[in-house]
Structure 1
Amino acid sequence: MPATAEAVRAFRERLGLPGLVDVHTHFMPERVLAKVWDYFDAAGPLTGVAWPITYRHEEEQRLALLREFGVRAFTAMVYPHKPAMAAWLNSWAAGFAARTPDCLHTATFFPEEGVSAYVDRALDAGARVFKAHLQVGGYDPNDELLDPVWGMLTEAGTPIVIHCGSGPAPGKHTGPGPVARLLARHPRLPLIVAHMGMPEYDAFLDLADRYPEVRLDTTMAFTDFSERFSAFPPADVARLADLGDRILLGTDFPNIPYPYEHQLEALERLGLGDDWLRAVCHDNGARLFRLHS
């Protein structure tokens, strides 16, 4: 059953939130999104499980739903799976952000010739967040072609949502090792580890402990769907409280196999309290992206 705006509104009102800040939502060119949905429908090797898309709607309807849910800021997580694709995606995302003021202008990159130039153009155009997908892109974040990019993004203080955990299926360069090597060279890099680093939760929490600019997003973590194959260790729940100022709400909307409010319910049942929920679901993201009240 699709999420109801009433359920999400009740969650926000109980916490006294002016809205939600969702750092991990997907908007992309329609033909690209259609291929992504086809991949999920086929339970491709990077998913490996049945994955019904709950919000298989036209773009305007998806935007309307987020607004009904009270999401005051969200992203357009685009990502290339091959060379000569990222600059085109960035052009599309810039246009999408221009016509969608509640979307945080999102960009991406791939290890290829010219990557520094188009990342620089994206920053000049106002990109506020980047997406790096090591699983789908199949690349090492330590590729020498990306070294100038990491330096640029560090200097700009622009966050990068990075899918680097090995869930739902491992990739050649997923897992904590490549990211640990990256952070050793760029210790101030503002990474947002997607999916809490699923399933290597411990190791990515360790990286957040070590590097104060590392954050984690909640995308799909703690939900009934993910707990079946990548359960979060109960012993680490206290660590979530300790890092409460660096955990951000993410959902993977619209590509989720359950209603939107289930992510919120999954966070609430961790039992970390209302202040923690307020920080994760709104305040941390609002501070990071300098959203005005």
Structure 2
Amino acid sequence: MDPRAFAADLGLPGLQDLHTHFLPPRVMAKVRAQFDSAGPLIGRPWPLHYRDEDDALVETLRSYGVRRFTALPYAHRPGMAEFLNDWAAGFAARVPEAAVCGTLFPEPDVAAYVRSRSETVQVWKVHVQVGAFTVTDPLLDEAWGIVAETGTPVVLHAGSGPVPTEHTGPGPVAELLARHPRLRLVIAHAGAPEYAEFLSLAECHERVALDTTMAFTPFFEEMGGAYPTDLLPRLRDLGLAGRVHLGSDFPNIPYPYAVQLESLARLGLGEKWLRAVCWHNTAALLD
């Protein structure tokens, strides 16, 4: 499948991908090394399909007709978030299609830097599996309040795939939403493998959404199980309500970009749903 043709056949000007990754070169090299070695949070061989430098990867997305995408840095230790935030701001300044992204980590100054960036960051990224923290860490409470007040979306990897940890799962996210019900969360990977639980959270909170990242693809289904077919009507309704977003995890994927699009089309949820997921929902979220 040609991604450009896929979008054109839907009558779209292109694609908007809410879940892509661009990182400082040395950080990206370490991320790739984890995938190459099937590290402890990956759990299986993960042969990366894309390995170019940033400029070439941006051109690849452009060649696929991806008109808007993200950097989504994520910190795994204290003192790292602001370095990543500075780099991501510079990346967005160089790449017109890139949303300004930021990350946060439970540390004493987190509320200060989240507040200082609240008028510029368009998407926050939090990865509790890699960061090894819970979203309910008291150090984060004031920062979450700021993010909820501004309404900036947070792409949150909190599902237990590909490898569960003590911090993953829907329970802490439900507790977080009880404290901050106005948070605009986008649950990465459709919450895999806790698909039903995260779908229910989205249905119960008008500012919670899902992204499609790697979900429904053969590779992901081999790893964590297929998306339950009985949930598909609810997923369709959520997408038509504006709260399912195209995500790919590009470039850290073990198959061509088009596989994600083919997997969405195979769901049989209709062209209106595909148009919403692949363009309109993310356009509305970022604008």
User: Is residue 2:22 matched to residue 1:27?
Assistant: yes
| Corresponding residue of 2:217 | 223
- The aligned runs of 1:1-293 (5 Å cut-off) are 7-124=2-119, 126-230=120-224, 231-244=226-239, 245-290=242-287
Distance between the aligned counterparts of 1:120 and 1:27, measured in 2? 23
Q: Which segments of structure 1 move beyond 4 Å, counting only runs of 4 or more?
A: none
Kept after mapping to 1: 8 A contact 2:129/2:158: yes
Deviation at 1:15, TM superposition (A): 0.2
Distance between the aligned counterparts of 1:122 and 1:157, measured in 2? 13
Letter matched to residue 132 of structure 1 = V
Write out per-residue CA displacement over residues 3-47 of structure 1, whole angstroms, 9 at most, x where no aligned residue: xxx711110111011111100000010000000000000001111
Distance between the aligned counterparts of 2:140 and 2:28, measured in 1? 26
What is the percent sequence identity of the aligned residues? 57
Deviation at 1:101, TM superposition (A): 1.4
Distance between the aligned counterparts of 1:280 and 1:144, measured in 2? 34
- Segment drifting more, 96-105 vs 156-165: 96-105
Letter matched to residue 219 of structure 2 = F
Letter matched to residue 201 of structure 2 = L
Deviation at 1:242, TM superposition (A): 1.4
Letter matched to residue 87 of structure 1 = E
Cα RMSD after superposing both structures: 0.8
Distance between the aligned counterparts of 1:173 and 1:9, measured in 2? 38
Distance between the aligned counterparts of 2:237 and 2:14, measured in 1? 24
Letter matched to residue 252 of structure 2 = N
Deviation at 1:229, TM superposition (A): 2.3
Distance between the aligned counterparts of 2:8 and 2:220, measured in 1? 27
For these two proteins, the number of residue pairs brought into alignment is: 284
Deviation at 1:116, TM superposition (A): 0.8
Distance between the aligned counterparts of 1:243 and 1:270, measured in 2? 14
Write out per-residue CA displacement over residues 115-164 of structure 1, whole angstroms, 9 at most, x where no aligned residue: 1111122224x110000000000101111111111111111110000000
Uncovered stretches (5+) of structure 1, i.e. residues with no partner:
1-5
Distance between the aligned counterparts of 1:172 and 1:205, measured in 2? 21
Per the normalisation by structure 2, the TM-score is: 0.98
Distance between the aligned counterparts of 2:79 and 2:53, measured in 1? 27
| Corresponding residue of 1:3 | none
